[in-house]
Amino acid sequence: MTPEELASTVDGLMDGLRADLVRLAEIPSIAFPGFPDGPVQEAHDLVAELLRDAGVPHVERLDLPDTAPVVYGEIPPPDPGAPTVLLYGHYDVQPPGDEKLWRSPPFEPTPMGGDGDGHGDGLRARGIADDKSNVIAHIGMLRAYGGRPPVGVKIVIEGQEEYGSAFDGYPPTDPDRFACDAMVIADLGNLRPGTPTLTTGLRGAAEVVVEVRTLDEPRHSGEFGGAAPDALLVLLKALATLHDVHGDVAVEGLRREAWAGTSYTEEEFRALAGVREGMPLIGSGGLGERLWSGPAITVIGLDAPGVEHAASAVVPYARAKLNLRFHPRQDPVEARDRLVDHLRSLRPFGVPLTVTPGDTGPGYEAETGGPAYRAALTALKEAWGKEAAYVATGGSIPLVNGLAQAAPGAEVLLFGAQDSMCNLHAPNERVLLSELRDTVVAMGAFVREYAAAAHGSDGGRA
């Protein structure tokens, strides 16, 4: 299929893909505790139905303990020399949060109309970008080839990615099922609309809890303040050592490198982060280094007396929960332990801290330069008409490491229909139909180019 034929075919499919995206996004498939199971099952069944209708001959359901069902499908390679590509996405979504902040009901997919971000037509709904647009992009590629792409295909659409599940560690226990030559992990997208983007790294994550107990109970601040050890002051003194005067992480042994790829402009980042006017950004160096190839420590929770009902008393107990993000190639336990050791070495005002290591998850850095990577670069340029940018992300996709362990020789490609301005996990999440269309074209061009490389041909390009 030539680039012109592929583009024309995808354009003809877009009305149907849009309709199916609306059907899928109408389902409140939230796999968090406390939400009903029915919509999750409904979304699973719809994805399986769409895959069968797209020509996938083998579609099955994988059930693991305490985990939403996984949709698994296979299309055998068209010939012995064709490579196999694994396509990944997820059908579950984040909870909508405060529905008063939405411009329209979160599970009523709504055209953006005049309240968009100036980038074109789109749809607004919870999960419509993350990750249902990418599920539909996979289906669009299969439809473009009539269910007979020039590569073998394995399809993995899970249903509990947002909350986490036993499936994260499952692939290495069943490597034959996930064996492939390349993977397209479609759970992210472009740096900005219209800029084709390959994500080459994912920062790792860890959590640590630090607490201080200094008194049996609160004591009058007038009678005892100034000598009695204040637990909150001790904790704040400890937390202040985690960053230097510029806002850079000051914990020794956490890996940091310059970022050589593309990044946001400062204006884009300020707008995306909602930084208030007049507020400086913290840290030094490029934004890519601060966000992707260097560490970040955030205080994500603090237990201390609230201001509204505060008593005039020395605080006997305080606790904080820290979230650490670290370089994609740093060992997760090593990174977490560097933070733990730093905190345990402190004695603010002579008071020891109780430090409890929490969960940790590895980052990921893709190997680039192989045939799948080269095919992806060609495909992204074909779809968007410009060279691809390279970025990383501070978020994590735990299953990526499990899939990479199951198929250690496979190239891992991360791209998709989202963009950094789509408000994923936030109110008024949206997807641009132009990004969805171009992602389907890119996926179709990728499998064509990758198959051609395996056969030593030009991929049918004119």
Burial letters 242-281, b for 16+ CB under 10 A, else e = bbeeeebbbbeebbbeebebebbeeeebeeeeeeeeeeee
Q: What spatial distance separates the first Cα and last Cα of the chain, rounded to whole Å?
A: 9
Residues 422/116, Cβ–Cβ less than 8 Å: no
What stretches of 354-429 adopt beta strand conformation (E)?
354-361, 364-365, 389-393, 411-414, 418-419
Please tell me which residue in 20, 131, 158, 161 is annotated as part of the active site: 161
Residues 159/70, Cβ–Cβ less than 8 Å: yes
Which pairing describes strands 70-75 and 84-90: parallel, antiparallel, or unpaired? unpaired
Give CA–CA dist 352/154, Å, rounded. Answer: 53
Contacts of 227 (CB under 8 A, 6+ apart): none
Q: Which residues pair with 228 in a beta bridge?
A: none
SS3 at position 355: strand
What single letter denotes the amino acid at residue 250?
Answer: A
Q: Is the dihedral of CA 22, 129, 54, 140 positive or negative?
A: positive
Q: E strand or H helix at 47, and its extent?
A: helix 38-53
138 Cα distance to chain centroid: 17
Cα-trace Rg, the chain:
24
Catalytic site includes residue 367: no
Cβ-in-10-Å burial (0-12, 13-18, 19+) of 68 comes to: buried
Give CA–CA dist 35/96, Å, rounded. Answer: 12
Contacts of 276 (CB under 8 A, 6+ apart): none
**Number of other CB atoms surrounding residue 227 within 10 Å:** 8
What DSSP character marks residue 395? Answer: S
Residues 383/442, Cβ–Cβ less than 8 Å: yes
Q: Which phi-psi region, left, alpha or beta, contains residue 142 (left: φ > 0; alpha: ψ -120 to 50)?
A: alpha
Catalytic site includes residue 11: no
Please tell me which residue in 92, 130, 181, 449 is annotated as part of the active site: 92
Cα 139 to Cα 28, 77, 146, 186, 233, distances in angstroms: 20, 17, 10, 12, 56
Residues with catalytic annotation?
92, 161
